Amino acid sequence: MRRILINKGNDLHTKRTDGTEPDRIKKNKNYKIFPIKEACFIASIYGIISFLWIILSDEVLIRFFKDVKHYQQAQTYKGWFYIIINVIVLFLLVKQRSVRMKKALVDLNRIYEELQNTCTELVTMERELSDQKLFNEKIFTESHVIMGTWDENGTIKRLNPYAMELFGYNESEITGKNWRDFLTEENKQKMVQVYEQVRKGNHLKNHESQFITHDKRKLDIIWNSGLLKYNEKIEILSIGTDITERKLLEEKLKEAAYYDNLTGLYNRNMIEEEVKKRIENKEEFALVYMDIDNFKQVNDTLGHSAGDKFLQYLADKLRSTIKCNHRIARLSGDEFAIIYPFANKELIESELQLLMNDFGKSWEIENHEFFLSVSTGVSVYPKDCDDLITLFRNADIAMFKAKREGKGRYVFYSDDIMLANAENNKLANKLKHALDNSELILNYQPQYNLETGKITGLEVLVRWLHDNKFIPPAKFIPIAEETGQIYEIEYWIIESSLQQKKIFETMGNYDITISINLSSKSLCSDINFNNLEKLFLSYDVDYSHIIVEITETAIISDINFAVYRLKKLRELGMKIALDDFGTGYSSLTHLKELPIDIVKLDRSFIQSIEEDGKDAMIIKAILYLALDLNYEVVAEGIETQGQLEFLKKYKCQTGQGFLLSRPVPIESITF
């Protein structure tokens, strides 16, 4: 406990810093030393005793001693007794005063020691205060945090050098100004509340504001402020930290969490949040899943860099095509999602048709031509479901349904699709064992020279006999393509066809052609195409009578790549037939570019020859064009005599169909 020196009249004593006094000081507080007063007091006592002795002692002696002798003797004793009394009284008085004097000297000595200690403490306190002041000043001037003081009205009193350097102002430009003059408009109103809180004595913790620097940059600052009171003055000390970089990092993390890095569109997390909000608010809306058809060909042919550039272009195209109140996201790879803020089917179809028109066409990417369409699936809330997971699942299921049905189209989710998927899954599992169990069989549909009526070739067609029931190819081939089983099936078909071709040649039937269908999967797959190429090379047959049939879809995804692969097949001596001509994306330009020998007219044209004059005119034009280009034309699906006569009239060389012959086992065919 420190003590301070108190000078009170002629007294010197100490008082503790808490205002209390030592007990010994309390006891002797009223004792004072006055030399004259002390001398007068002793003289008075001596005088009173002497006066009373003289008066009273003589009166007593006269009364008790009558004779002179005894009286004189008593006078002598009286003198001695008087001396003894005076000595005793003086002794007691002097002793009492000496004891008090001694105590006073002891207290004085102690007070002196305390004064010395107090002086030492005061010097130490002064040194500590000075050191503390220097330390505080050092913190203020050298700290790499923003420090400043301001009054209750927000007037800046002082800023530390770090703050002025950070903000770009000098002392004269900022001292005396109000904090609000340096804040963004949206932060000024907040500062009014800040001032009010601090005036009430509340410590302000982690308050954020944007500070405008001298060069007009906006810095994000987080503040902690408190009230300072001294010498009846009130000031506010604020300590701030520049969190601009942290805020930028937070924004980047937010972008990484909610935006797609490649396209700048929403990512899956963000679109899911949007869907959740709408479900919580009971809003009607449609979720559209969109997948780019044949996009893998771009990556496989030109690399992922070219694919990424196309995705960026596609994202920009979506932004310009789709209205601003819709939400667009890239989910992954070439999958996108769109939220339409309405559930009306006609409106949704109108929007989707715009997408189909914009994206269902040929694209030239780095001098390669690709046909890239989009397949979309639609799930509507709350009609189809009432939760996020099911909504996304349903849209995904509908999108895959669109792909299975031929791509480049949209499909609305329905429960029937779910049932069909369950059935397809069962078929896919059964299909795994179809080859091992010899359930797949080959039938051959004869192709006839329409002039002579003779068989010129056979188209190899696969059939699946399961539990004594035939499963149509249109049902299981798409499943095989989805699961990848198509590679194994096609390898078996081609190997069996080459074996049959060898048998024909052994029998002397060299002129009979074998037509084999090749899927887009096998044509575009490096590994599987190489396996098929090795298979072809392993058989010693006349390849000029082997025809490989490809659909327009198989080649249109990447024209350049398809041309390269087809040329390799032609180098082996095979002929190439373009199957289902007229149903897909063919153009006269493609006919000119592709290394094909045969054009196969799709059955949909043939069936309407007798009903629609336009189709008849188209077939006439195709036949004339094919003759000029030296292409052979094969008509599929001839089912009536009228169709046959029309084709013969306009010089179609070859035809096949139920009118001529159904697909049959090889044993049923005679030449």
DSSP code string of 389-428: HHHHHHHHHHHHHHHHTTSS-EEE--HHHHHHHHHHHHHH
Rounded distance, CA 243 to CA 249, Å?
A: 10
What count of Cα atoms within 13 Å lies in the side-chain half-sphere of residue 598? 28
pLDDT at 9: 40
Regarding beta strands 233-242 and 469-471, do their DSSP bridges make them parallel or antiparallel, or are they unpaired? unpaired
Given a cut of 50, whether residue 407 has pLDDT beyond it is yes
Q: Which is more confidently placed, 619 or 1?
A: 619
The answer to whether 502 and 541 are in contact (CB under 8 A) is yes
Which is it for the CA torsion 189, 195, 200, 201, positive or negative? positive
Which is it for the CA torsion 125, 126, 129, 135, positive or negative? negative
pLDDT digits (tens, 9 = 90+) for 59-74: 777 777 767 777 777 7
**Which phi and psi (to 5°) does residue 456 adopt?**
-110, -20
Q: Which is more confidently placed, 15 or 78?
A: 78
Quick one: DSSP state of residue 437?
T
- At 70, which helix (H) or strand (E)? helix 68-142
DSSP line for 21-67: --HHHHHTTT----HHHHHHHHHHHHHHHHHHHHHHHHHHHHHH--S
Residue 635, SS3? strand
Rounded distance, CA 211 to CA 248, Å?
A: 15
pLDDT at 21: 52
pLDDT at 7: 43
pLDDT at 590: 65
For residues 415-439, give the mean pLDDT. Answer: 88
pLDDT at 342: 92
Rounded distance, CA 406 to CA 421, Å?
A: 16
Residue 37, burial from CB neighbour count under 10 angstroms (0-12, 13-18, 19+): exposed
User: What's the 3-state SS for 71-123?
Assistant: HHHHHHHHHHHHHHHHHHHHHHHHHHHHHHHHHHHHHHHHHHHHHHHHHHHHH
CA distances from 382 to 120, 265, 345, 411 (A): 85, 25, 13, 17
CA distances from 384 to 305, 353, 379, 389, 392 (A): 38, 21, 6, 12, 11
For residues 22-28, give the mean pLDDT. Answer: 49
Rounded distance, CA 643 to CA 625, Å?
A: 20
Rounded distance, CA 445 to CA 254, Å?
A: 61
CA distances from 659 to 131, 260, 337, 446, 640 (A): 113, 57, 48, 11, 6
pLDDT at 482: 84
Max CA-CA distance within the chain? 206
Rounded distance, CA 478 to CA 424, Å?
A: 10
Q: Which is more confidently placed, 517 or 18?
A: 517
Rounded distance, CA 559 to CA 575, Å?
A: 18
Cβ neighbors of 247 (< 8 A, separation 6 or more) are: 220
* Assigned token pair, 1: 């406990």
Given a cut of 80, whether residue 158 has pLDDT beyond it is yes
Given a cut of 70, whether residue 22 has pLDDT beyond it is no
The amino acid at residue 195 is Y
Tell me the Cα Rg of the chain.
57
Residue 375, burial from CB neighbour count under 10 angstroms (0-12, 13-18, 19+): buried
Q: Confidence band (pLDDT; 50, 70, 90) for 598?
A: very high
**Residue carrying structure tokens 């408190």:** 226
pLDDT digits (tens, 9 = 90+) for 231-275: 777 888 888 989 989 988 888 888 788 899 899 999 999 999 999
Query: Which contacts of 385-390 are long-range, i.e. CB under 8 A and separated by 24 or more positions?
Result: 386/279, 387/279, 388/272, 388/275, 388/276, 388/279
Residue 32, burial from CB neighbour count under 10 angstroms (0-12, 13-18, 19+): exposed
pLDDT at 184: 85
Rounded distance, CA 82 to CA 53, Å?
A: 8
The distance from CA 667 to its chain's CA centroid, rounded to whole angstroms, is 65
Rounded distance, CA 522 to CA 376, Å?
A: 25
Share of the chain above pLDDT 90, in %: 33
Share of the chain above pLDDT 70, in %: 92
- Mean pLDDT, the chain, as a whole number? 84
pLDDT at 589: 59
Quick one: DSSP state of residue 145?
S
pLDDT at 542: 94
Residue 597, burial from CB neighbour count under 10 angstroms (0-12, 13-18, 19+): middle
pLDDT digits (tens, 9 = 90+) for 659-669: 999 999 999 99
pLDDT digits (tens, 9 = 90+) for 572-590: 999 999 987 766 555 565 6
CA distances from 512 to 65, 205, 448 (A): 191, 91, 11
DSSP line for 534-580: HHHHTS-S-GGGEEEEEEHHHHHT-HHHHHHHHHHHHHTT-EEEEEE
Q: Which is more confidently placed, 361 or 284?
A: 284
CA distances from 576 to 14, 103, 387, 400, 571 (A): 120, 134, 50, 30, 11
Rounded distance, CA 234 to CA 200, Å?
A: 12
pLDDT at 6: 42
For residues 266-295, give the mean pLDDT. Answer: 92
Q: Confidence band (pLDDT; 50, 70, 90) for 444?
A: very high
